[in-house]
Structure 1
Amino acid sequence: MYSASMSTPDRLVEATQELLWERGYVGTSPKAIQQLAGAGQGSMYHHFAGKSDLALTAILRTAAELRATAEQALGDGGTAYERISAYLSRERDVLRGCPVGRLTMDPDVMASEELRAPVDETIGWLRGRLAEIVQEGLDRGEFDRPLAPDEIAATVVATAQGGYVLARASGSSAAFDAGVAGLLTLLAPRTGPTV
């Protein structure tokens, strides 16, 4: 699974990221981490104080990766609508869900202020970034009606996260795609006279 050049701490963190996404905090045992990473118990505890320390490092890395991926889609090219559309339509493993969003459903992560903080900060960052983009679009006259940037940002995040839930429940990405298409239709500039 890992390249020979990957360091032991990186293998441990990446294994923890995968297991947190698949199994949650409780289901991510030190033994499972070590097996997936191909690392011994001594190596794990040499580099990390324990499971919570390793989980925090993994969550921070997952959060940074989500931000980088979102920023690629949101970037500075195109209209606000095109950038939001690029974010919602980007390639993703819909049936696995969002690796950060899924942590919000993990009672052990949410009960720990230390583990919850990067999850909350990342979702807050995404909402803020989307609100900035909506405001830029309003300032440039790209939308033909008044919009509340913070509300639109919350709606975009809720559509993506809710779309993951619908897709997982149905076993098909079609539900996610339908939610995205519906939101984009609502956000699209009107092309004819309004009634």
Structure 2
Amino acid sequence: MDTRERLIESTRELLWERGYVGTSPKAIQAHSGAGQGSMYHHFSGKHDLALAAITRNAEDLRARAEAAFTQRGPAFDRIAAYLRRERDALRGCPVGRLTQDPDVMADSALRKPVEDTFAWLTDRIAGILAEESRLDPRTTATALVAVLQGGYVLARAAGSADVYADAVDGALGLLEGHLPEGN
């Protein structure tokens, strides 16, 4: 991994753990093993590097979701595959956690990849639901995204990934009977 990639990956990790304010240039340099000169050679500053890291998190979320959504099978199975994919529920969503960061939300450039990713995710789930569902695709997709993000919050509060799994199972239970299931 080259220096630029180490800087981005380190910033992704630190943003997830500490948020924007807690992610200092010195912490990024220490985590990545890159010097100050290398950091400023590749990025104009912390904001530029944070934007690259947030954008990478958003791209990663989309790619993982798309992998589940493009599987063969009924809509229910594809949505279930996405909701049940392996996650670190106690760490939370690396994109969703940024919505709680006032500095990210106050900065339109940093907020945009977060906002665009959740809009994309909602639209993508709504499109899948529209294929086979008797439910309103848009409102149901919004509820499913909210269940995921809320499941992370509840799991972190309880200190148990089981709470996240319960939220997902509950959402899928509500979908049963409204979408055909595969075998």
Task: Please confirm whether the aligned pair reaches a TM-score higher than 0.5, indicating the same fold.
Answer: yes
Find the counterpart in structure 2 of residue 3 from structure 1.
Answer: none
1:81 aligns with 2:69: no
Find the counterpart in structure 1 of residue 117 from structure 2.
Answer: 122
Find the counterpart in structure 2 of residue 24 from structure 1.
Answer: 19
**Count of residue correspondences:** 178
Q: Which amino acid aligns with 1:175?
A: V
The counterpart of 2:50, out of the listed 29, 39, 55, is 55
State the Cα deviation string for residues 36-94 of structure 1 (Å, max 9, x = none): 10000000001100000000010111100110011111114111111111111000100
Find the counterpart in structure 2 of residue 168 from structure 1.
Answer: 156
Q: Which whole-Å CA distance do the structure 1 matches of 2:56 and 2:111 have between them? A: 14
Runs of 4+ in 1 over 6 A off after TM superposition: none
1:147 aligns with 2:135: yes
Q: Which whole-Å CA distance do the structure 2 matches of 1:185 and 1:9 have between them? A: 44
Q: Which whole-Å CA distance do the structure 2 matches of 1:93 and 1:76 have between them? A: 22
SS at match of 1:102: helix
Aligned CA-pair RMSD:
0.9
Q: Which whole-Å CA distance do the structure 1 matches of 2:89 and 2:157 have between them? A: 11
1:8 aligns with 2:8: no
Please identify the structure whose Cα radius of gyration is greater: 1
The offset of 1:165, in angstroms, is 0.3
Q: Which whole-Å CA distance do the structure 2 matches of 1:112 and 1:137 have between them? A: 39
Q: Report % sequence identity.
A: 61
The offset of 1:137, in angstroms, is 1.7
Find the counterpart in structure 1 of residue 96 from structure 2.
Answer: 101
The offset of 1:127, in angstroms, is 0.2
SS at match of 1:91: coil
The counterpart of 1:185, out of the listed 168, 173, 177, is 173
Q: Which whole-Å CA distance do the structure 1 matches of 2:73 and 2:66 have between them? A: 13
The offset of 1:189, in angstroms, is 1.8
Find the counterpart in structure 1 of residue 40 from structure 2.
Answer: 45
Q: Which whole-Å CA distance do the structure 2 matches of 1:36 and 1:77 have between them? A: 40
Q: Which whole-Å CA distance do the structure 2 matches of 1:137 and 1:18 have between them? A: 38
SS at match of 1:135: helix
Unaligned runs of 5+ residues in structure 2 are 179-183
Q: Which whole-Å CA distance do the structure 2 matches of 1:82 and 1:76 have between them? A: 9
Q: Which amino acid aligns with 2:162?
A: A
The TM-score, its normalising length taken from structure 1, stands at 0.90
